[in-house]
Amino acid sequence: MKQSSLLAGVLSVALLWSGSALAQAPIVIKFSHVVAVGTPKGKAADRFKQLAEERTQGRVKVEVYPNSQLYKDKEEMEALQLGAVQMLAPSLAKFGSLGVKEFEVFDLPYLFPTKAALSAVTEGPIGKSLLARLEPKGIIGLAYWDNGLKVFSANKPLHKPEDFRGLKMRIQPSKVLDAQMRALGATPQVMAFSEVYQALQTGVVDGTENPPSNFSSQKMFEVQKHLTVSNHGYLGYAVIVNKKFWEGLPADIRTALEGAMADATKYANAIASQENADAMEVVRKFGKTEIYLPTAAETAAMVAAVQPVHQDMSARIGADLIAAIKTEVAKLDVKHPARKK
């Protein structure tokens, strides 16, 4: 009897200790993304990790997985919905395949002439209403992170629309980007970001579009001879979280994480322009990629070539949404900056 009582006491203590240890175990947030650590998104994810862990005093642990370590482009959204990861920052182009086609408005070529025009949309009612459309998919939209305007690259000069004819151009999975490339006479090729360098190297694709930070961090300057500073489109991200996980967090933890995300977002959007400028300098110094600044006439020709995409995609994206964004941009009274050689 004494041995049984002793054993029962030991087991009780063990169970109490085990329960206490489990109670103190941190809440783990797996944050997966597909770009390099040194990009604006990569740095912002690391900043969120730092702030989240500090402000929850260790009650939350953020595990960041960059460079497609866990999932590639097509896989990560499903992983989030299934709860295999808790947080992502996919590019806005990827939400169309999820069934939220309105996000593809950000892919329309030459829609946002400046960063101020973009911010007026993402930080205002339009941006908030778009994030709200994710909730029926089991996703909460937390923030928009900027990366910047895109440039074209290939192994031949890309100065005017005719230069794109016959080229195989890598794109993200977006009907708008598909239409954009076809309007230029190119053949669009959807491909995971992690596969682009090798595809360029082997000639599976001829060129692509990226913000300079992505072009540089993936060392595409090693396999692309020409880069045109077209600033033709925008690449940004929506930071999203699994809805069930987020709503199941203790209220004080969620409040702390919202604050950490707000500050990480300010950081992300502040560094994007400088990161892209620094990336262009890396490309220049490497010396194997010719950087070309289009003339005003060349920019006008490009705008005219892709303008039909806006009309063609209005049924898919929503004519009212496109009109609302153009109205918001028009309030700033700016036009797309034409560059002189």
**Which pLDDT score, from 0 to 100, does residue 28 have?**
98
Residue 10 has pLDDT above 80, yes or no: no
The packing angle between helices 115-122 and 319-330, to 10°, is 130
148 vs 272: CA distance, rounded Å:
6
Q: Measured at the alpha carbon of residue 55, what is the angle toward residues 49 and 60, in degrees to the nearest 5?
A: 55
**Which pLDDT score, from 0 to 100, does residue 74 have?**
79
| Tens of pLDDT, residues 28-50 | 999 999 888 988 899 999 999 99
For 48-72, what is the mean pLDDT? 95
**Which pLDDT score, from 0 to 100, does residue 20 have?**
44
pTM: 0.85
For 215-219, what is the mean pLDDT? 95
For 246-255, what is the mean pLDDT? 98
In the numeric block, which tokens belong to residue 220? 């595409």
**Which pLDDT score, from 0 to 100, does residue 38 have?**
87
Q: According to the per-residue pLDDT averaged within each range, which of 17-26, 35-44, 239-248 is highest? A: 239-248
| Tens of pLDDT, residues 70-82 | 988 778 999 999 9
**Architecture per CATH, 26-330:** 3-Layer(aba) Sandwich (3.40)
For 250-276, what is the mean pLDDT? 95
**297-310: string of b/e by CB count within 10 Å (b at 16+)?**
ebbeebbebbeebb
For 134-143, what is the mean pLDDT? 97
